[in-house]
Amino acid sequence: MEGREDWVDVGSLDEIRAAGLKPVTARGTALAVSCRGGAIGAVSNACNHVGGPLGEGRLEGDYVVCPWHQWKFHRVTGAGEPGFEDDRVPAFPAKIADGRVLVDVAHLTKRSKAPHPPHPLAREIVRAPGPLRLAGISTTAMDRANPRFSGSDHLLGHALKEAESLGAQTRTIALDELKFRNCEGFYSKSARACTWPCSITQMDSADEMERVYEALVHWADAVIVATPIRWGAASSLYFKMAERLNCVQNAVTIKDRVLIRNKVAGFIVVGGQDNIQSVAGQMLGFFAELGFLFPQFPYVAHSRGWSHEDMERNVEIVRDSEELAEGARMLAKRCLDLAGRLVVADPATVIERGGRKAHSVMPTAKSYGAD
């Protein structure tokens, strides 16, 4: 070991043994100090991935598990878990003296970040040449083995057929056919923990929310989201999707990167109870925060109100209504008309930050003890 040692007292052995893993700061250096079987380990507190605080995680055997995205590093050597040993966080000499834990902050191993291929969703957002593209998203929960009539899906079908007749490419995504995990609240740990691409999508190749991300961010020029009204709100599948779309919104906050630009959204809302304007308003507000723009009259809707619970009659009305079908067709036309104008607009136009995004959350190495 070359150079002068600098041993710093970071706490009592009893305290660190009881904690198992603890974040500490020594001479301005953020550390994750651990004790297992009486042996002390000390590594940098900053995870290699996006700087998560390792000392706030947990121990899994001799590995520290990052609380943000579950990357693992050996608590003594700093090496990544088996198979990822080339990913290393700095490790520091540590010892016990008179019941105290000391760390030599002057001598540390080098941080090493093994190359990781970027996720396909992380590619540059460039609109591919070709006709206008409209994605339809169904949020109706459905037993596909025993299908029933869905008013919102029925009208979405009319909208997509109209788009095809206008020469647009279409893609339908039925959320109930996808297997995707719930949002697991990374944002609640730190704004920087909610990443684009979504942390879950990066960790779990079986998570099919990737199809929604691909369609909305990379493929579609316009999207129509169709939902039933469930107890005065959009469907539970809609909200499950919306929570997972927080990573698209959060990219503006943490990276000042607008993923949705020059894209259009419209909505179809159908329900037996009358709460149309509230449901549509919530959806408009959320998709506006993602960056979508809207045509004039951005939604079509149907409801017979609280006193009409004869759903057989409601099904008949929606299924046979040429007025509603024409409304859905014209919604598709309005969305594509606006999308066509936006496609030829300057995609590099700078949009000033607003709302929540007016306040930048700038990632700083110092905040998380990066070396």
Share the mean pLDDT of the chain: 90
Choice among 127-131, 246-250, 300-304, 337-341 with the minimum mean pLDDT = 300-304
Residue that finishes a domain, picked among 104, 130, 160: 104
Q: Are residues 76 and 127 in the same domain?
A: no
pLDDT of residue 2: 67
The residue with greater pLDDT, 311 or 157, is 157
Residue 175 sits in the same domain as residue 251: yes
Of 43, 78, 104, the position where a domain reaches its end is 104
Q: Are 335 and 232 in contact (CB under 8 A)?
A: no
Domain count, the chain: 2
Whether 99 and 124 map to the same domain: the answer is: no
Partnered with residue 301 across adjacent β-strands are 269
For the beta sheet containing 94-97, the strands, ordered from the edge strand earlier in sequence to the opposite edge, are: 7-12, 100-104, 94-97
191 part of a folded domain: yes
Which of 104, 135, 168 corresponds to the end of one domain? 104
Report the CATH number that the domain containing residue 44 is assigned in CATH.
Answer: 2.102.10.10
In a domain, 369, yes or no: no
pTM, entire model? 0.85
Q: pLDDT tens, 202-259? A: 989 999 999 999 999 999 999 999 999 988 899 999 999 999 999 999 998 888 888 9
DSSP letters, 24-83, are: EEETTEEEEEEEETTEEEEEESB-TTT--BGGGSEEETTEEEPTTT--EEETTT-BBSTT
**pLDDT tier for residue 366 given thresholds of 50, 70 and 90:** very low
Give domain status of residue 370, yes or no: no
Residue-wise pLDDT tens digits, 284-336: 999 999 999 999 999 999 887 766 666 667 788 888 899 999 999 999 999 99
Judgement on whether residues 128 and 62 belong to the same structural domain of the protein: no
* Burial category of 362 from C-beta neighbours within 10 Å (exposed 0-12, middle 13-18, buried 19 and up): exposed
pLDDT at 310: 67
285 in the same domain as 352: yes
What is the CATH classification number for the domain harbouring 348?
A: 3.40.50.360
230 and 178 together in one domain:
yes
Whether the predicted pLDDT of 364 surpasses 80:
no
Residue 371 inside a domain? The answer is no
Residue 111 lies in a domain: no
Name 355's Cβ contacts closer than 8 Å, sequence gap at least 6. Answer: 289
Q: In what order do the strands lie in the sheet with 39-44?
A: 21-26, 29-36, 39-44
Let me know whether 158 and 21 are in one domain.
no
Give, as one character, the DSSP assignment of residue 293.
Answer: B
Residue 286 pLDDT: 95
- Tell me what the mean pLDDT of segment 128-144 comes to: 94
Structure-token pair, residue 334: 């309005």
Residues 83 and 15 in one domain: yes
Tell me the CA end-to-end span of the chain in Å, nearest whole number. Answer: 20
Q: Are residues 128 and 93 in the same domain?
A: no
Alpha carbon separation from 360 to 50, 125, 328, 352, 357 (Å, rounded): 17, 22, 39, 12, 6
Q: In the prediction, which pLDDT does 367 show? A: 37
Do residues 89 and 63 lie in contact, with contact meaning Cβ atoms separated by under 8 Å? no
Beta bridge partners of 230: 233
**Are both 181 and 50 inside the same structural domain?**
no
Domain that holds residue 329: 120-358
Long-range residue pairs from 112-117, CB within 8 A, at least 24 positions apart, any chain: 112/86, 112/87, 112/88, 113/48, 113/87, 114/80, 114/84, 114/86, 114/87
Instruction: Note whether residue 242 is domain-resident.
Output: yes
Q: Is residue 367 part of a domain?
A: no
Q: What is the pLDDT of residues 49-91, one digit of tens each?
A: 989 999 999 999 999 999 999 999 999 999 999 988 889 999 9
Does any domain span residue 149?
yes
**Are 106 and 3 a contacting pair, CB within 8 Å?**
yes
Residues 228 and 342 placed together within one structural domain of the fold: yes
Q: What angle do CA 340, 343, 348 make, to 5 degrees?
A: 155
- The answer on 124 and 83 residing in a single domain is no
